[in-house]
Homo-oligomer: A and B are copies of this chain.
Amino acid sequence: MKVELKHLAMAVAVAVASTAAWSSTVRDEPITPIEPYVSDKPEMVELGKKLFFEPRLSMSGIISCNTCHNLSRGGTDNIVTSIGHGWKAGPVNSPTVLNSSLAIAQFWDGRAANLQEQAGGPIQADVEMNMPHTLALDVLNSIPGYQDEFEQVFGKREIDMDMVTAAIAEFEETLVTPNSRFDQWLKGDDNAITAVELEGYKLFKDSGCTACHNGAAAGGTSFQRMGIVRAYESTSPVEGRYSITGDDADRFSFKVPTLRNVEYTYPYFHDGQANTLEESVDIMGQIQLGRHYTEEEIDKIVAFLKTLNGDMPNLTLPILPPSSNDTPRPNPFQ
């Protein structure tokens, strides 16, 4: 206990010192730098990583969180809308898991308050992993390797869903991408971005994009209507926050997506209908700001957006514990 307190005190001291180190020089901008997340529960993070890569949480035995939030690919799957159990297409484009801890809520419509609340959803959704929580727990509880590890982390062998989602959420907290060139610029390095990229940022800010794309994630701080000045044309039946609140004012209102690593997270928008950053900037300008950017302006903004690529999480591929003879077997065709 003494040792732990000492470590905590040291961690606080280091955190304060490092905050001071950059806060004295950080530029006052609507987008703020991302800081690394150092978990005080490293064993829970490792367990959460295993669960994030765990296909046995799906009925088919082949779909894991990482299928649609692929950490080799900016935390998304780069298809229009995700493909789940039985090759069914989901209703929306898979949002990136990277920096998702920085958002006010989870899912495009914000129906989960936090990462832990989010994590249970896709496991049981029939167009995603299609796995009843009870069966997911039967599977995990039949695997001695998991029982040992949950006991080590949570102090009990009988695994429940709160433990599963807590571990996944703690792993996801670590999935931040600091040290982008834009962040280096924010922290005072004038040479971290080019003159054109800086012009792109100024145009982005001065024309109003940062009204919504702000904070550490350059998004995720508010819900906004898709199509403020002009209606967004889409064949998608999804209505955003309206489906949660039932309030007409929330129709087509979505959580503003993060622009961090946006070069990696194509295609864009909740319906995945914009293939390129150029197309996305063009459409956003028109429907949200009533502005027709010139081709040159679009190129500058896109150049800026690519400075938001940060350091991707450096992850060792987890080795998952083998099933036992008692483990319920997957059923891809159920």
The residue of chain B having its C-beta at the shortest distance from the C-beta of A279 within the complex is: B325
B74-A276 in contact (CB<8A): no
A240 in the interface (beta carbon within 8 A): no
Cα distance, A127 to B170, chains bound together (Å): 37
A71-B317 in contact (CB<8A): yes
Number of chain copies forming the complex: 2
Cα distance, A83 to B71, chains bound together (Å): 22
A62-B67 in contact (CB<8A): yes
**For chain A residues 50-81, which have a beta carbon within 8 Å of chain B?**
53, 55-56, 60-62, 67, 70-74, 77-79
Main secondary structure of the interface of A (DSSP, over half): loop
Asked whether A83 and B60 contact (CB < 8 A) given A316-B314, A316-B315, the answer is yes
CB proximity of A329 to chain B, nearest CB, Å: 6
B330-A78 in contact (CB<8A): yes
Question: What's the tally of chain A residues with a CB closer than 8 Å to chain B?
Answer: 41
B332-A87 in contact (CB<8A): yes
User: Which residues does chain B contribute within 8 Å of A62, judged by CB atoms?
Assistant: 67, 77, 79, 83
User: Which residues does chain B contribute within 8 Å of A329, judged by CB atoms?
Assistant: 267, 275
User: Which residues does chain B contribute within 8 Å of A317, judged by CB atoms?
Assistant: 71-72, 315-317
The residue of chain B having its C-beta at the shortest distance from the C-beta of A88 within the complex is: B87
Cα distance, A71 to B320, chains bound together (Å): 9
Choice from B70, B316, B332 contacting A79 with Cβ under 8 Å: B332
26 A–B contacts, CB within 8 A, in A order: A55-B70, A55-B77, A61-B77, A61-B78, A61-B79, A62-B67, A62-B77, A62-B79, A71-B317, A72-B317, A72-B318, A72-B319, A73-B320, A79-B332, A87-B87, A263-B322, A266-B322, A266-B323, A267-B329, A275-B329, A276-B325, A312-B319, A315-B317, A316-B316, A316-B317, A317-B317
Question: Which residues from chain A sit less than 8 Å from chain B, CB to CB?
Answer: 53, 55-56, 60-62, 67, 70-74, 77-79, 83, 86-87, 89, 263-264, 266-267, 275-276, 278, 312, 314-320, 322-323, 325, 329-330, 332-333
